[in-house]
Amino acid sequence: MEYVEKNFGSYKLHMIKTNKFKTIKVRISFRNQIKKDEITMRNILSNVLTYSSKKYQTKRDLIIEAQNLYDASIYIGNSRYGNYINTDVNLTVLNDKYTEEGNYEKAIDFLKELVYNPNISGNKFSKKVLDIVKKDALTSLEGIKEDSTYYSIVRLYEEMDSESPLSYRMCGYIEDLEKINTSNLYQYYKDMINKDLMDIFIVGDIDFLETEEMIKEKFELKTFKKSRVSYYLPEKKARSKKIYVKEDDENAQSKLSIGCRIYGLSSYERNYPLTLYNIILGVGSDSKLFTEVREKNLLCYVINSVLNKLDNTLIIRAGIDKENIKKTVDLSNLQMNLMKKGKFSEEDINKAKEFFSTSLDSMLESESSIIDFYFMMDILGLDNLDVRRKKMQEVTKSEIIKVAKKIKMDTVYCLEGIKE
């Protein structure tokens, strides 16, 4: 795998050459500092851009064109990275070797058409399309509780800190949806195109020179943008005593989410010992939480922990019966305390290191994860693959214990099901 980065001033082109895939993946990534009241607008914009364009007036025309390009696919997704909102426009297309000469270039034109030639007239998006997209969005926003796992996490974050981007709902807000019209959406679109930081990633069996020439010619942008705000959310200490929040739900099962704050880590600690700490505590089916809470005490069907380094949080999630809430929280707390006291073995650490190295290997088997990896490496200035592998192997038990002492439960949120 070879990696080349070209800085064109207004955006960076990242090219990764590998012969592992029969497809080529292109990602245009736009990002800017996140504002709560713009999230809904951004979601709507993404859906409007993939609904039609100047050249392809209907969604069906657009899908037919994608199918004619040997089933090229375009997908837009929005996500939050710490203080930033990120819009990824992804194209996946078969390599010309498996289709016909010129198909890859045509697919890039297609991608460009959707992003840079939207269906507008008189500085307005099409009202018909906007209405359709808004109505669908309203239906899903009204149904937010249907995905109880997602809903319980969102609610947990809101209880942890309702002011911070941590609590922003990436699905958007009904009250913001109502304010969106064809002209303010166009204004927002122009702002995104002109003011957002932008990167283009291309991974696949490509020719660096050809690809560079093609991208430079097709994406000739003049604006110069610079990032000022840090990606990391400011650190915050956990409350001195954790709070419990509950909400009733009609499902049989209860969704428990425990939010923990991570405070005072060095960048080394965050990228190395913390990763291993999380694997040992709650990733996979031989983690402390899984073996102790599920296997030995039969308190739940699923339990795991999820780390968010940019937010300095760690979340424990479990699906349980209502009467086991307190017991599950106490047992999870006990597992965290045992880790602080060093009650885990060298074998646990070695297994976690193996797990990490396998995840790195598997990451290289997916085009999306390769892009994610280089993206994070670039924006956060992280170590490269080889350095990362080596440093992770050298993490010691005392380093993990030191990190364990800096993680504390803050808020327990439970979406309480019907008691059986």
Site for another protein (CB under 8 A): which residue of 190, 248, 365, 398? 365
Report, in Å, the least distance between residue 79 CB and another protein.
21
Report, in Å, the least distance between residue 92 CB and another protein.
8
How long a stretch of residues is the chain? 420
- Order of all β-strands in the sheet with 313-320: 243-248, 407-416, 254-262, 313-320, 300-308
Report, in Å, the least distance between residue 283 CB and another protein.
10
Residue 300 touching another protein (CB under 8 A): yes
Binding mask 22-61 for another protein (x = CB under 8 A): xx----------------------------------xxx-
Site for another protein (CB under 8 A): which residue of 78, 148, 211, 275? 148
- Which 8-state DSSP code applies to residue 305? E
Angle between helices 127-142 and 39-49 (to 10 degrees): 130
Shorter beta-carbon distance to another protein: residue 37 or 178? 178
The three-state (H, E, C) secondary structure of 40-87, written as one string: HHHHHHHHHHCCCCCCCCCHHHHHHHHHHCCCCEEEEEEEEECCEEEE
Q: Are 13 and 212 in contact (CB under 8 A)?
A: yes
Q: Are 366 and 204 in contact (CB under 8 A)?
A: no
In the chain, count H helices and then E strands: 16, 13
Site for another protein (CB under 8 A): which residue of 33, 164, 181, 357? 357
Report, in Å, the least distance between residue 204 CB and another protein.
10
Shorter beta-carbon distance to another protein: residue 86 or 99? 99
CA distance 80 to 244: 26
Strands 23-33 and 120-121 come out as: unpaired
Encoded amino acid at 345, one letter: S
Strands 197-204 and 12-17 come out as: parallel
Shorter beta-carbon distance to another protein: residue 190 or 390? 390
Report, in Å, the least distance between residue 254 CB and another protein.
10
Residue 301 touching another protein (CB under 8 A): yes
Residue 75 touching another protein (CB under 8 A): no
Shorter beta-carbon distance to another protein: residue 60 or 179? 60
CA distance 117 to 110: 10
Report, in Å, the least distance between residue 404 CB and another protein.
20
Site for another protein (CB under 8 A): which residue of 10, 55, 63, 181? 63
By CB under 8 A, the count of residues binding another protein is: 57
Report, in Å, the least distance between residue 101 CB and another protein.
16
Tell me which residues in 252-291 interact with another protein (CB under 8 A). 252-253, 284-286
Q: Are 185 and 192 in contact (CB under 8 A)?
A: no
> Residue 128, CB half-sphere, CA atoms under 13 Å: how many?
9
Encoded amino acid at 275, one letter: T
Report, in Å, the least distance between residue 60 CB and another protein.
4
Q: Are 300 and 324 in contact (CB under 8 A)?
A: yes
Which stretch, 26-34, 67-75, 265-273, 332-340, contacts another protein (CB under 8 A)?
A: 67-75
Residue 105 touching another protein (CB under 8 A): no
Q: Are 171 and 43 in contact (CB under 8 A)?
A: yes
| Structure token digits, residue 147 | 């995905």
Site for another protein (CB under 8 A): which residue of 139, 217, 224, 234? 139
DSSP class per residue in 130-168: HHHHHHHHHHHHHTGGGSHHHHHHHHHHHHH-SSSGGG-
Site for another protein (CB under 8 A): which residue of 6, 55, 145, 242? 145
Binding mask 220-259 for another protein (x = CB under 8 A): -----------------------------xxxxx------
CA distance 373 to 393: 19
Site for another protein (CB under 8 A): which residue of 142, 178, 207, 210? 142
Site for another protein (CB under 8 A): which residue of 57, 67, 230, 384? 67
Report, in Å, the least distance between residue 360 CB and another protein.
9
Residues that bind another protein (CB under 8 A): 19-23, 58-60, 63-64, 67-68, 70-71, 94, 98-99, 128, 132, 135-136, 139-140, 142-146, 148, 249-253, 284-286, 294, 298, 300-301, 319, 321, 350-351, 354-359, 361-362, 364-365, 417, 420
